[in-house]
Amino acid sequence: MNRSEAREQAFILVFEQCFREEPLPELLEAAATARGLEADPFMQRLAGGTMEHLAELDRTLGRYCVGWRLDRLPRVSLALLRLACFELLFCPDIPVGVSIDQAVELAKKYAGEEDAAYINGVLGSVARQEKPVKA
């Protein structure tokens, strides 16, 4: 599994967590059973880190989601924003442009053009204004 595929699977797990509110090991087990998902270290790092830092990510995103409360965002967009925001803040080894571009591409695939543009704008603001946290 390459990094783009691992990121997409991490997004799906974060999205599922929006509905099931289960810890990552349970989500991984269910995904392995339901769709044959094989655990990937990069995928686990992204999904697990996003879930671990959810409150902090939501506080950060709340400052930049102009015109929207997080609980009013489509869950696909929220999951993508959370995942990419985790990358921006906690994964200094991942280039900022890659994190944003991948989130936008996933938004185009799973949401729509308007969502992709909104996600691009929010993440651009986060990248410009926030300092990465030392992992």
For the chain, give every domain's residue range: 3-129
CATH 3.40.50.12280 for the 3-129 domain, yes or no: no
| Residue type at position 32 | A
- Mapping DSSP to helix (H, G, I), strand (E, B) and coil, where does residue 135 land? coil
Q: Are 78 and 64 in contact (CB under 8 A)?
A: no
Each residue of 114-124: pLDDT tens digit? Answer: 899 999 999 99
Each residue of 12-61: pLDDT tens digit? Answer: 989 988 888 778 888 878 877 778 778 889 989 999 999 999 999 999 99
Which of 3-7, 22-26, 77-81 is the least confident region? 22-26
Q: What is the pLDDT of residue 135?
A: 54
**The tokens 């799906």 sit on which residue?**
12
